[in-house]
Protein backbone atom coordinates (compact mmCIF):
# COMPACT_ATOMS: atom_id res chain seq x y z
CA UNK A 1 0.00 0.00 0.00
CA UNK A 2 2.78 2.42 0.89
CA UNK A 3 5.19 1.27 -1.77
CA UNK A 4 5.05 4.71 -3.40
CA UNK A 5 6.93 6.09 -0.39
CA UNK A 6 9.81 3.63 -0.70
CA UNK A 7 12.90 5.07 -2.31
CA UNK A 8 14.50 3.43 -5.30
CA UNK A 9 17.92 2.21 -4.07
CA UNK A 10 19.50 2.40 -7.51
CA UNK A 11 18.40 5.94 -8.32
CA UNK A 12 21.09 7.60 -6.21
CA UNK A 13 23.77 5.22 -7.48
CA UNK A 14 22.79 5.90 -11.10
CA UNK A 15 23.24 9.65 -10.54
CA UNK A 16 26.67 9.10 -9.01
CA UNK A 17 27.57 6.75 -11.88
CA UNK A 18 26.61 9.36 -14.48
CA UNK A 19 28.60 12.06 -12.68
CA UNK A 20 31.70 9.85 -12.51
CA UNK A 21 31.47 9.11 -16.21
CA UNK A 22 31.10 12.80 -17.00
CA UNK A 23 34.12 13.70 -14.85
CA UNK A 24 36.09 10.94 -16.57
CA UNK A 25 35.15 12.31 -19.99
CA UNK A 26 36.37 15.79 -19.06
CA UNK A 27 39.59 14.38 -17.61
CA UNK A 28 40.21 12.48 -20.85
CA UNK A 29 39.55 15.59 -22.93
CA UNK A 30 42.04 17.54 -20.84
CA UNK A 31 44.68 14.87 -21.36
CA UNK A 32 44.68 13.61 -17.77
CA UNK A 33 44.63 9.92 -18.58
CA UNK A 34 45.53 8.83 -15.04
CA UNK A 35 42.48 10.56 -13.55
CA UNK A 36 40.37 9.26 -16.42
CA UNK A 37 41.33 5.68 -15.63
CA UNK A 38 40.66 6.07 -11.89
CA UNK A 39 37.28 7.70 -12.48
CA UNK A 40 36.33 5.04 -15.01
CA UNK A 41 37.28 2.32 -12.53
CA UNK A 42 35.14 3.93 -9.83
CA UNK A 43 32.24 4.22 -12.28
CA UNK A 44 32.53 0.53 -13.17
CA UNK A 45 32.45 -0.43 -9.50
CA UNK A 46 29.32 1.65 -8.97
CA UNK A 47 27.73 0.04 -12.03
CA UNK A 48 28.45 -3.41 -10.60
CA UNK A 49 26.67 -2.38 -7.38
CA UNK A 50 23.69 -1.20 -9.43
CA UNK A 51 23.53 -4.52 -11.25
CA UNK A 52 23.79 -6.45 -7.99
CA UNK A 53 20.91 -4.47 -6.48
CA UNK A 54 18.77 -5.01 -9.57
CA UNK A 55 19.52 -8.74 -9.57
CA UNK A 56 18.64 -9.08 -5.90
CA UNK A 57 15.37 -7.20 -6.37
CA UNK A 58 14.39 -9.45 -9.28
CA UNK A 59 15.00 -12.53 -7.14
CA UNK A 60 12.72 -11.31 -4.36
1-60 residue pLDDT tens? 566 667 788 899 999 999 999 999 999 999 999 999 999 999 999 999 999 999 988 776
Burial tier of 21 (Cβ tally within 10 Å: 0-12, 13-18, 19+): middle
Number of domains in the chain: 1
Structure confidence at residue 40 (pLDDT): 98
- Longest C-alpha distance within the chain, in Å? 52
Q: Domain for residue 42, yes or no?
A: yes
Q: Domain for residue 17, yes or no?
A: no
Q: Domain for residue 39, yes or no?
A: yes
Q: Domain for residue 49, yes or no?
A: yes
Q: Domain for residue 12, yes or no?
A: no
- Parent domain of 44: 24-54
Q: Domain for residue 3, yes or no?
A: no
Q: What is the DSSP string of 6-57?
A: SPPHHHHHHHHHHHHHHHHHHHHHTT-HHHHHHHHHHHHHHHHHHHHHHHHH
Q: Domain for residue 33, yes or no?
A: yes
Q: What is the pTM of this model?
A: 0.82
Which residues, 6+ apart, have CB-to-CB distance to 42 below 8 Å?
Answer: 20
Amino acid sequence: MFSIFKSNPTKKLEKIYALKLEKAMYAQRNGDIKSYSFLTLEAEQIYEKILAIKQSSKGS
